[in-house]
Every structure is written in C-alpha cells, then in structure tokens.
Amino acid sequence: MCTVCGCSDGEVRIGGKAQAGHGALHEHGGAHAHGHDHHDHHHHVHESELHRHVHHYGRGPAGTSVPGMSQTRLIKIETDILAKNKAYANANRERLGQLGIVALNLLSSPGSGKTTLLVKTIEAMKATRDVAVIEGDQQTDADAARIRETGAPAIQINTGKGCHLDAHMVGHALDELAPQRGSVLFIENVGNLVCPAAFDLGEAHRVVILSVTEGEDKPLKYPDMFASADLVVVNKTDLLPHLDFNVEQAIANVRKVNAGVKVMKVSARTGDGLGSFVSWIEGARAMQLAGADVAHAVAGE
C-alpha cells in the first residue's frame, strides 16, 4: 500500500465525476514506502566480493520501512486498511456472484499492451457475450474511449495520484455501469506491479500481463503480483524475433513464485494465442454462472 507516494492525495473521479469518501479507505499509513530510514528497520547487506552495498528495506516483519514509524505500527495500519478494503471487496463479490457476472482484474506494468489485448478480446467475444469494462488510470479517459469504440460499455476511474484501484471505487463504478446478468466484466487496473497486488476488488480471477519487452526477471522483482495471479499472459510475442527475451526463462521465473499458475503466450497485435485466452475466459464465466445457479437454488429462488 501507499505510505508516502501521495496515493491518498488528489481527487478520485469515476465517470468524470468527483467522488468523496475514499480518504477513509485510503488512510495510507504504510505498506510500501520510498523513504530512507537509517534507523532500526534499515537492513544493510554487505557483499564485499561484489563490492556492493545493498540497502534492503523489506526485511522487517512489515515488509517495508517508513521513517519514524515502527514495524508494529506499520503492520497495524496495513491490517486496518486491507480489512476495510476486504469488506468492500466481499460486497462486490457477492453482488457479482448473484448476477453470475465473472469479473477479471487485469494487472500489469505500464506499456504491457493490456488495453490492446482487452480491445482484441472484446472484439472476439462481443458477438456472443455481454461485456463491460471498468478502466483505471491516474488521468485521462483515453482507454475507456478505446473500449467504447468496440461497442462495449466502459466507465473510467481516474485515481489522481493513486497508484491502484480499490474495492470502494469499483463498487461505485458498478453502480453506474450496471453490467448485464451473466456478462464478463473486465477491470483494467492502473499500470503498476506493486500496490494493486494487495487490493482485492471482488474479482473472480486475476490476470497478470507480462510483455516480452519487459524482461524475464519481472516475476522475481515483483513476486507479490505474480504470486496473486490466476493466469499470466505473456504478451507481444510477435516481437520475439527482435528481442533477446527468453520466454521459457520468464515462465520458469513465474513458476518460482506461483508454481501452479496457468501461463499462456499471446500476441494481441497478430491474434496468435488469443483464442486460448478467450476460451479461458469462457471457462471462468461458466464456473461463475454455475455457482450463481447453485446459490439461487439453495435460496429457493
């Protein structure tokens, strides 16, 4: 979460309208930080054979360090923030489950081709499926506009200085978007491989997109994100002839942090592998609908 990056500052806008009340959820007192605390929570690793001096701020119990704040206090603040978010996420999940809507949280770093992949996926599905999109960016509604060009409804969430969506924002967006029963809801999160990993939005599945232009080591550098994934899509495979990217090494690195995760290779630009991605989504949708039918039967509806 966002201790000193300014994520709690600035105005959240959903569908172009300012939203109040998010500050209560985002009392960001600590989970990740960029400060340099040279006190008791600052860990030095000396590697004389490599002539390096490594400053590791994540080895305390809280997994981070903030100047003037104890590890105990950091853990307490993080627990409180995530508990509030989890309550909103559970409400979203129940609401979506009752409607048989499968929600997919799409996560990646900026520039991974996430929006292009989403556009191509919607174009492949829209003839047979109702699809809706929640778009998350700090500023602009450019991505939502791209989605609407496909004919799919989309609502933009601008997070201001915020570096991730949270479940409270998504709940407000659902009120306005009103996705159809049995539809597929894509939530395109803010491009960031750190903070979004900690925030449940009420989604059924997390899909992490890794571009071949990013490097094979991303899963090891950002393990929390890849460890939380239900599916990892290796995107932009059409660029492989022009790069030194080792796909098999990248997949091996993914499996070091998430041994059982499904991985597929896709080129959003050429369409290679897109059919497999759509089939996976259809399977996820079928499971969601089956769960909704069981719940309605138990309730006697």
> What would the pLDDT profile of 101-154 be if each residue is shown by its tens digit?
999 999 999 999 999 999 999 999 999 999 999 999 999 999 999 999 999 999
Binning pLDDT at 50, 70 and 90, where does residue 162 land? confident
Rounded mean pLDDT, 84-113: 96
pLDDT at 295: 58
Asked whether 33 and 3 are in contact (CB, 8 A), the reply is: yes
Domains contained in the chain, CATH given: 12-82 (no CATH), 91-299 (3.40.50.300)
Q: What is the pLDDT of residues 227-236, one digit of tens each?
A: 999 999 999 9
Q: Can you tell me the mean pLDDT for 274-291?
A: 94
The answer to whether residue 62 scores a pLDDT higher than 90 is no
| pTM of the predicted protein model | 0.79
d(CA 115, CA 272): 16
Average pLDDT over the chain, rounded to an integer: 84
Cβ of 175: how many Cβ atoms within 10 Å?
12
User: What's the pLDDT at 257?
Assistant: 98
Alpha-carbon distances, residue 280 vs 11, 122, 176 (angstroms): 36, 14, 27
Max Cα–Cα distance, the chain, nearest Å = 69
Q: Residue 185 carries which DSSP code?
A: E
In this prediction, residue 291 has a pLDDT band, given cuts at 50, 70 and 90, of confident
Q: Residue 128 has what pLDDT?
A: 94
Q: How confident is the model at residue 69 (pLDDT cuts 50, 70, 90)?
A: confident
Pick from 14-28, 50-64, 149-163, 237-251: least confident: 14-28
**Cα–Cα distance for residue pair 161/172, rounded to 1 Å:** 19
Query: What mean pLDDT comes out for the span 182-189?
Result: 97
Q: In the prediction, which pLDDT does 284 show?
A: 95
In degrees, rounded to 5, the angle at the alpha carbon of residue 128 between the alpha carbons of residues 124 and 129 is 90
Cα 153 to Cα 36, 104, 145, 173, 177, distances in angstroms: 44, 15, 10, 12, 7
